[in-house]
Chain A
Amino acid sequence: MSSGRGLTGREASVPPERLYWAVLDASSLPRQPFASRALWNRRLGYLFEAVLPVPIESVHAVFVPLGGGTVLACGMERASLREVAEGAISLRPESLPPFVPPTADASSLNLLTREFEPPAIRRARACTTLVTAASLVLCSLLLVVGFANRTRAWNALAFDAERAEHEAYASVLGDATGQSGQPAPLRLVSELRQLRRTRAEPSRESRPTDVAPDLASLLAAWPRDLRARTETLSVTAAGATLTVWLPGQPEAERLIESMRAAEGWSLAQPSLSRSSEGMTVRLQLTRSSTMVEHGAVP
């Protein structure tokens, strides 16, 4: 005979009269989710012992749940079992006694378990266990190697990015630490803040008035070929003041008219003083509201 798993050996059976039978009420036994099967069997063994004519230690028992908290117990004296089991790979009752509920299956009862388990089955199970464990470890190793490769790649990416970051700092800050001893990120932020503040155009209110274009516009309005000598010329944010010597009245009037026409300026009443050598004209100009700043200078 042979088993379905390729094991060679005898599949033996015994008449039910040679076995001890009982239907046990196991509903009173404590159910512990993580309790071992051996402990469960020992507890059932104590229940079974109550109906046995011999001590439980001399009987090898197997248990099959029947449902509803009942368990079918089947036992055989150890000495007899050793004789019957010799060379067999399984030992089952030929049939079930009549008091056993019909839901029980005689083929599910195998008495060659635990210490009576045949060496061939034990070896086969050990082999299966080993192959399963080895497969598990191998799969894990493959996964670990895959992760290790990925990790190496990501670390390389991080390293490259960190090196590029250092290069970026060095490209704008020069040496790595700097004289201040501050870390590069702080130095970069500090420099950026300072640059943002110093490269921005000052507000119109805080920016000083540039008078160079005003001077240019005044000189652009100056009449050509006018014989005159500018004694003082002052241009400030408030306006412009000129003191000019001219040889006579016509030259003075020409200058006044030209300054009156100067773009962006309003001329106040001129002040004239005569002398034996000519005339001195004092002109005061203020910016008109429509004056537009332009880029030309004298």
Chain B
Amino acid sequence: MAILVAAASSVALFGLAWSRASDAVSRANAAALRLASVREDADEVRHLRAREERIAVSERPSHDVIARVGGSLAEVGLPESRLKSVTPVSDRGAAGSGSAHRVQSVRIVLEPMTLAELGPLLRIWRREHSLWTTSGVELNTASRGRDPEEAYRVTITVSAVYLADAGRGVQK
């Protein structure tokens, strides 16, 4: 009888210890797997964050473009007063991507600008604001003079692709 009680107690203790150890192993394995997955995702997030945004999350407001143009003008060494207007032009579904993307276009008017000033400005714009593609450039003489270096009224159309479902939030 004593052996039976001892055996039963031993089995019970052993079972309890085994169960706890088994739980601990499962927990440790699950935690290790989760950690590996989270580290992988975190590395990818860091890597993607370091890359330039090519598609906007949502439609960008005009003041975003104004700030970008102001920054680029300052970088070229031109006064912000050269920026005359920023006007939204169109907002349409992107071709060939179903309903996934939309393209918004904004018209920027700069005046007066010479060709020598326009070149560096476009170069900086392309380098630093790759989200906004220069989709149109129009130069009109600001006056009727004969000076080849005369200033132009420059109308630049920039376009950005953004996610069409931005308003619906991110789905899991």
A residues with a Cβ closer than 8 A to B are 129-130, 132-134, 136-137, 139-141, 143-144, 147-148, 150-152, 154-155, 157-159, 161-162, 164-165, 168-169, 171-172, 185-186, 188-212, 215-216, 219, 227-237, 245, 297-298
Report the minimal beta-carbon distance from A110 to chain B, rounded to whole angstroms.
Answer: 22
Q: Which residues of A contact B159 (CB under 8 A)?
A: 208
**Least Cβ–Cβ distance between A108 and chain B, in angstroms:** 24
B20 interface residue per 8 A CB criterion: yes
Instruction: Closest B residue to A202 by CB, please name it.
Output: B161
The interface residues of chain B lying within 8 Å CB-to-CB of A237 are 135-136
**Residue in A closest to B171 when the chains form the complex, CB atoms:** A193
Expressed in whole angstroms, the Cα–Cα distance for A298 and B124 within the complex equals 11
Q: Is the CB of B7 within 8 A of A211?
A: no
Would you list the 8 A-B pairs with minimal beta carbon distance, nearest first? A205-B96, A206-B94, A140-B10, A161-B31, A133-B6, A208-B159, A147-B17, A154-B24
Quick check: which of B48-56, B62-70, B77-85 contacts chain A, the rest being far away?
B48-56
Given A200-B54, A203-B96, A297-B123: A158 and B24 interface contact (C-beta under 8 Å): yes
User: Given the complex of chains A and B, what is the CA–CA distance between A141 and B9 in angstroms?
Assistant: 10
16 more CB-based (< 8 A) A-B contacts, given A162-B35, A199-B55: A136-B7, A143-B14, A168-B38, A189-B41, A195-B44, A197-B55, A198-B163, A202-B54, A203-B94, A208-B159, A208-B160, A212-B126, A219-B115, A229-B147, A230-B141, A298-B119
- Asked if B21 is at the interface of the complex by the 8 Å CB criterion, the answer is yes
Q: Which residues of A contact B42 (CB under 8 A)?
A: 168-169, 171-172, 188
B side interface size, CB within 8 A:
77
A191 CA / B38 CA spacing, docked (Å): 13
Are A205 and B97 interface neighbours, CB within 8 A?
yes
Within 8 Å of chain A (Cβ to Cβ): is B74?
no
Closest to B125 in A: A212
Q: Which chain A residues border B10 with CB–CB below 8 Å?
A: 136-137, 139-140
Contact of A195 among B27, B48, B140, B145 (CB under 8 A): B48
Q: How far is the CA of A162 from the CA of B31 in the complex (A)?
A: 6
Could you show 24 A-B contacts with beta carbons less than 8 Å apart?
Answer: A130-B2, A133-B6, A140-B11, A143-B14, A144-B14, A157-B28, A161-B28, A172-B45, A172-B46, A188-B42, A189-B172, A191-B45, A193-B170, A198-B55, A202-B97, A205-B97, A206-B95, A206-B161, A207-B133, A208-B160, A211-B134, A215-B137, A229-B150, A298-B122
Residues of A within 8 A of B118 (CB): 298
Contacts of B163 in A (CB 8 A): 197-198
Task: Give complex CA distance A150, B46 in Å.
Answer: 37
Cα–Cα distance between A190 and B169 once the two chains are bound (Å): 9
Interface of chain A, main secondary structure: helix
* B148 contact set on A, CB distance < 8 A: 227-229
Q: List, in ascending order, chain B residues with CB within 8 A of A141's CB.
A: 13
Cβ contact within 8 Å between B34 and A236: no
**B86 sits at the interface (CB 8 A):** no
Contact between A232 and B139, CB atoms less than 8 A apart:
yes
Question: A144 touching B6 by the CB < 8 A rule?
Answer: no
Closest residue of chain A to B53 (Cβ to Cβ) is A198
Chain B residues in 8 Å Cβ range of A210: 126, 133-135
Task: Looking at the assembled complex, report how far the CB atom of A179 sits from the nearest CB atom of chain B, in whole angstroms.
Answer: 15
Contact call B146/A211, Cβ cutoff below 8 A: no
Distance of B149 from chain A, by nearest CB (Å):
10
Give Cα distance in the complex from A229 to B148, angstroms: 5
Interchain CB contact under 8 A, B135 and A186? no
Question: A229 touches which one: B17, B18, B146, B172 (CB < 8 A)?
Answer: B146
The complex places the Cα of A119 from the Cα of B92 at a distance, in Å, of 104
- Report the separation of the CA atoms of residues A45 and B141 in the bound assembly, to the nearest whole angstrom: 131
A233 contacts B139, C-beta separation under 8 Å: yes
**When the two chains form the complex, which single residue of B13, B16, B55, B105 contacts A202, counting CB atoms closer than 8 Å?**
B55
B55 CB contacts on chain A under 8 angstroms: 197-200, 202
